[in-house]
Structures are given as C-alpha cells and as structure tokens.
C-alpha cells in the first residue's frame, strides 16, 4: 500500500482516523480472509526489538495504526508523511456506529472481570441497534482459552475487539481470531476500560496537543514507559543522522 512505511522494522499505515475507519469498514464488508489491526506505539516497538516473536507478529499485521505521538513525531523526523495519530480508542468510536447501522456482529474481549460486559452495556445504550454477540474478560488461563475459542466460533463475530495489553492481545489474535477466520480483529489496549467507564482518557486539550502519553505516565505511574520513549527518541535521532551521513 502506498501509505505503508516502516519504523525500526515494523510497518505502519499512515492514514487519517477517517481513512483508517473506512479501511477497516472495507475489511468488514469484504469478509473473506481474516485481518489483524494492531496499534503501534514507541513502547511496543522497543519491546519488539528485544522479542523476535513479537517483531514477526507485528510485521504480519494487515493494518498497523500509528497509535502514539512518538510514532507520528518520529516518523515525521525521518521524513515520512504521517497525517495524524490514530488511537485504537478513537478508531473503535468511529467504527462501532457503522457496525450498529450495518448489522455487523461485535465481540468484546479483555479487561478485568466485568469490564467487557460494562463496555457492551454502555455501547448498547448509546447505539441501540448494535449487535454485540459476546463478551469475555481478559483474565483467563491457557487452559480456558479453548473454551473461549469455542465461544467465538459459536458467536461468529465480524469484529473482535481485544484489549489485553501487548503482547498478549496480539498473540491471542494470531492464535485464535485469525485461525477462526474472524473478518477483523483489533488490538486496543485499555480501550475497554474507558468504554466501561472504569478509566478516563486524558483531558481533550492534552489529546489535541499530543500529550496524552504524558498524562498516562503521570496518572498511572508508568515511568518505565517514559524510559521507553526516551530510548525510542534516541534511536530515531541516531537513524536520522545515519541517513544524513549516507546521503552526504
């Protein structure tokens, strides 16, 4: 695809939120081969550099969102045209109304017990025509995974929303959703917690200026994420100067 670029070995599809929504909608309408939609941010890229399995898994994503301002800024620094950040939460908020209007079947999986069910309840109230065919929390064992796979097979969702944090959500999509032939599976991290009303996103003003990542670090105490961002930034700068030297 013309909008596909690569950052540290991982493909990223540089589209606007609306273009991304339309792309996912086309996947749903086409059916056929199952597609995986992954959310790419600096933290997951840094983890993939240390984990070959995760790197290969992300490289197989059919549509990788630039979900992180570090990806947008870093990509632009390297000369790529990335129009905007496309957060998994924002994509879900865009695609769910279309699922409601067009009758696509939706399954929500992830979060602590009660989170997926709470998200389903809130979405059903907001979109009365939405066909949610199942929910499942994300705290299950490997032994329980076979039963969940059977539930998914019986539910036959068109869209599977998976929020379990990386790399578990991506591994689940690979090991289950793709094998079951689910048309579209989207890895969305903590999106279900927000949809369920358990957590809040950053204030809109911070989202607009690209500082939602900072809000998360401070509110969650995730200073390890800050270190990942610093490491990512350093690698981007190093790559920029390498390219400059090669072109000189």
Give residue-wise pLDDT tens across range 150-185: 999 999 999 999 999 899 999 999 999 999 999 999
Residue 247 maps to a domain: no
The residue among 1 and 237 whose pLDDT is bigger is: 237
pLDDT in tens, 189-198: 999 999 999 9
Q: What is the mean pLDDT of residues 206-232?
A: 62
Note the pLDDT of residue 248: 47
Task: Give the total number of structural domains in the chain.
Answer: 1
Q: What is the CATH number of the domain that holds 125?
A: 3.40.50.10660
The pLDDT value recorded for residue 223 is 53
The pTM of the full predicted model, rounded to 2 decimals, is 0.89
Percent of the chain whose predicted confidence (pLDDT) is above 90: 74
Average pLDDT taken over every residue of the chain: 89
Mean pLDDT of 101-130: 97
pLDDT at 3: 73
In a domain, 205, yes or no: no
Residue 221 lies in a domain: no
101 inside domain: yes
Range of the domain at 117: 4-199
pLDDT at 221: 53
DSSP conformation letters of 146-198 = HHHHHHHHHH--SEEEEES-TTHHHHHIIIIIHHHT-SEEEE-TTHHHHHTTS
Of the two residues 226 and 107, the one the predictor is more confident about is 107
Tell me whether residue 53 is in a domain. Answer: yes
Confidence of residue 10 (pLDDT cuts 50, 70, 90): very high
> Is the model's pLDDT at 138 over the cut of 80?
yes
Per the domain annotation, does 48 fall within a domain? yes
Asked if residue 82 is part of any domain, the answer here is yes
The whole-angstrom separation of Cα 136 and Cα 233 is: 36
Please give the C-alpha separations between residue 87 and each of 37, 68, 125, 212, 241, in angstroms, as whole numbers: 12, 7, 23, 10, 29
Q: For residue 18, which of 75, 90, 70, 124 has the smallest C-alpha distance?
A: 90
Domain presence at residue 248: no
């Amino acid at each position: 695809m013309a909008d596909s670029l690569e950052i540290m070995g991982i493909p990223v599809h540089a589209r606007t939120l609306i273009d991304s929504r339309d792309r996912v909608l086309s996947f749903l309408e086409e059916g056929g081969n199952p597609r995986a939609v992954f959310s790419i941010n600096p933290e997951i890229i840094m983890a993939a550099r240390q984990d070959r399995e995760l790197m290969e898994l992300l490289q197989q994503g059919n549509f990788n969102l630039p979900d992180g301002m570090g990806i947008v800024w870093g990509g632009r620094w390297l000369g790529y045209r990335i129009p905007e950040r496309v957060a998994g939460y924002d994509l879900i908020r865009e695609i769910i109304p279309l699922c409601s209007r067009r009758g696509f079947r939706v399954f929500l999986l992830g979060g602590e017990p009660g989170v997926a069910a709470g998200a389903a309840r809130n979405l059903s109230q907001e979109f009365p025509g939405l066909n949610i065919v199942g929910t499942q929390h994300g705290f299950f064992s490997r032994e329980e995974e076979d039963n969940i796979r059977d539930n998914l097979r019986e539910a036959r969702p068109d869209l599977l929303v998976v929020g379990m944090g990386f790399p578990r959500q991506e591994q689940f999509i690979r090991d289950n959703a793709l094998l079951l032939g689910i048309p579209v599976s989207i890895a969305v991290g903590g999106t279900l917690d927000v949809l369920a009303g358990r957590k809040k996103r950053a204030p809109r003003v911070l989202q607009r200026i690209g500082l939602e990542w900072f809000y998360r670090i401070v509110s969650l105490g995730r200073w390890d994420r800050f270190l990942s961002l610093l490491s990512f930034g350093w690698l981007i700068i190093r790559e920029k100067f390498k390219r400059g030297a090669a072109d000189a």
